[in-house]
């Protein structure tokens, strides 16, 4: 190992498999956020965004600091419903780069998963 000091890593809500947030060199990486199964796409999207707001606040920032957002939908037919909730939440003038795609999520009841990276 080198004598160069390592940058600290802060982990929030660490479990046996993953952390909900990892902060390193002023960058906040959130785990994929999902909401309660069995809800509408709109309700799941809002649940994901509420959790993102909470985790960002714990990191000392808010959604205006989001750099990128990656959104996975179980079915792209739900794109417009998800976007209606996203558009009401995202801070105009501070929108992140965003990607959206379709993927089979961890359980059939999950219809939306959102992953963000933000700057402190």
Mean pLDDT of 13-23: 97
Residue 66's DSSP bridge partners are: 118
Please give the CATH superfamily to which domain 18-119 belongs: RutC-like (3.30.1330.40)
On the 0-12 / 13-18 / 19+ scale of CB atoms within 10 A, 83 is: middle
Mean pLDDT of 60-77: 98
Cβ-contact 35, 82 below 8 angstroms = no
Q: Report residue 40 as tokens.
A: 């509408």
Domain spans in the chain, listed from the N-terminal domain onward: 18-119
> Taking 70 as the threshold, does the pLDDT of residue 1 lie above it?
no
Strands 27-30 and 19-24: antiparallel
Backbone angles phi, psi at 76, to 5 degrees: -65, -15
> Taking 90 as the threshold, does the pLDDT of residue 53 lie above it?
yes
> Taking 80 as the threshold, does the pLDDT of residue 31 lie above it?
yes
């Amino acid at each position: 190992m080198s004598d160069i000091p390592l940058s600290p890593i802060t982990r929030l809500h660490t479990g046996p498999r993953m952390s909900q947030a990892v902060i390193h060199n002023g960058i906040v990486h959130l785990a994929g956020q999902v909401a309660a199964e069995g809800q509408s796409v709109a309700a799941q999207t809002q649940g994901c965004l509420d959790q993102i707001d909470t985790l960002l606040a714990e990191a000392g920032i808010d959604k205006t600091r989001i750099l990128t957002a990656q959104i996975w939908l179980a079915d792209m037919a739900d794109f417009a419903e998800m976007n209606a909730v996203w558009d009401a939440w995202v801070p105009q003038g501070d929108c992140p780069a965003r990607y959206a795609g379709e993927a089979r999520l961890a359980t059939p009841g999950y219809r939306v998963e959102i992953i963000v990276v933000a700057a402190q």
